[in-house]
Structure 1
Amino acid sequence: MIESFSLSTAHLFQDAMVAQARLRYKVFVERRGLPHQHYEDLEFDEFDTPSALYLVWRDSERVVRGLIRLLRTDRPYMLQSHWPHLVEGDAPSSEQIWEMTRVCVDKSVAPKVRRTIIPELLCAVSEHVGRSDGIGVIGVTRPHLISHFVRDGVCWLGAPDLIEGEIERAFYVPWEHIRPAYHCMKYGIGNVLYCSGRATERAA
């Protein structure tokens, strides 16, 4: 199940807000050893604002195992604020373009289940962008990762560079290519149960 919430709707989803911060700590601070801000076992940054949207993937025991955070690009966001040199020209600035950030998965999940987490989260991202009249998403990642999940439509915004110890690159994906069709077909992913603060159930 995918849950979608912001600061104003997090109370509808039990421990979702703290659980996503705990997963970020586990992935970025503990596993990768990155010097991200944290308090105890919760990772956070300056973009955890009321306008941020969190998409979390829960397992059958309702433990948060995956996350994508979405930031509107008409407000401060990571690529524009920290790595503008990754974009040739001006960085996107539009209420119709969202930045995917803090994308992470709990590596302790069994591989057979783990391989579906990002594809299902991307289905939810596609659903959100579509019903928000969005036109696409941007982000910064290792090139092979986005190309693995999104087989068509990836537009590179500039040259790669060393970011947090990895060679990464800024990308843009139009809305119609966000849903990972190949992985949905391969793993039998149909409609993804998608819950938000504005509706109890949606098919993504």
Structure 2
Amino acid sequence: MQTTTLSFSNLHNHGELFAKLFRARKQSFIIQKNWDLPEAEDMEFDQYDTPQSRWIAVHDKGEVLAGFRLTPTTARCGIYSYMIRDAQKGILGGSIPQDLLDGEAPVDPQVWECSRVFVSHDIPQMYRRKVHYKMVEAMTASARELGATRLIALTGASWPRWYGRCGLEAEAIGRVMWIDDANFQCVAINLAPKMH
């Protein structure tokens, strides 16, 4: 099992991995969760998939097992910045509640948003913890490379159950909210202790 951080600058070095990641996202978010998201050529994408973002793929033997996207909180593309901030500003049309954060959404080069986090539904439960650890390792390594010391994420409200087991230091930064099919909550992940 390996992890790869993808960017628009290095896509040519990784063959079909980028497309496979977006196909795995479609499987996870559109097919499994039945979320109403944009898709084309059997791939899920949105307005935050720009050259400003990075995508981390956990893969093995040509198959994408898990992944996520990192976007700087300083990102700008037309009217969009990053998902959590745009939801707070009401730009997303109410699909995510505007009161998702306790305070103002950050705009800071050391704070990045982690979004579109998924683990393939095909991964057996006993193997998932290993995949989670690989995701955390990749998250930490990518953050170090990008200069991020903190991540924010809108994640499943069950995060306290597994973040600690994966060695993540996190805190809630918003209320628990029902969105589509589950409870979610915004969290801040402190990466500074993992930067050494």
User: What TM-score range do you get, normalising by the shorter chain?
Assistant: 0.7 to 0.9
Residue in 1 aligned with 2:189?
173
Q: Do 1:125 and 1:178's aligned partners in 2 also have CA atoms closer than 8 Å? A: no
Letter in 2 for 1:102: R
Q: Do 2:3 and 2:58's aligned partners in 1 also have CA atoms closer than 8 Å? A: yes
Letter in 2 for 1:137: L
Q: The residue matched to 1:82 in structure 2 has which SS?
A: helix
User: Over residues 119-168 of structure 1, what are the superposed CA-to-partner deviations in whole Å (9 max), with x where a residue is unaligned?
Assistant: 21111111121233321110001221354123563221121212233211
Letter in 2 for 1:72: P
Q: Do 2:169 and 2:191's aligned partners in 1 also have CA atoms closer than 8 Å? A: no
Letter in 2 for 1:109: I
Output the TM-score relative to the length of structure 1: 0.80
Q: Do 2:72 and 2:109's aligned partners in 1 also have CA atoms closer than 8 Å? A: yes
Output the TM-score relative to the length of structure 2: 0.83
Q: The residue matched to 2:8 in structure 1 has which SS?
A: coil
Residue in 2 aligned with 1:153?
169
Please give the root-mean-square deviation of Cα atoms over the aligned residues, in Å.
Answer: 2.0
CA distance in structure 2 between the partners assigned to 1:175 and 1:57 by the alignment: 20
- Is 1:141 aligned to residue 142 of structure 2? no
Residue 176 (structure 1) shift: 3.7
- Is 1:74 aligned to residue 74 of structure 2? yes
| Number of positions where the alignment pairs a residue of Structure 1 with one of Structure 2 | 179
Q: 1:139 to 1:7 in 2, by over 3 A?
A: same
What 5-or-longer segments of structure 2 have no aligned partner? Answer: 76-80, 89-97
Residue identity over aligned pairs, in percent, reads 22
Residue in 1 aligned with 2:92?
none
CA distance in structure 1 between the partners assigned to 2:87 and 2:190 by the alignment: 23
Residue in 2 aligned with 1:105?
119
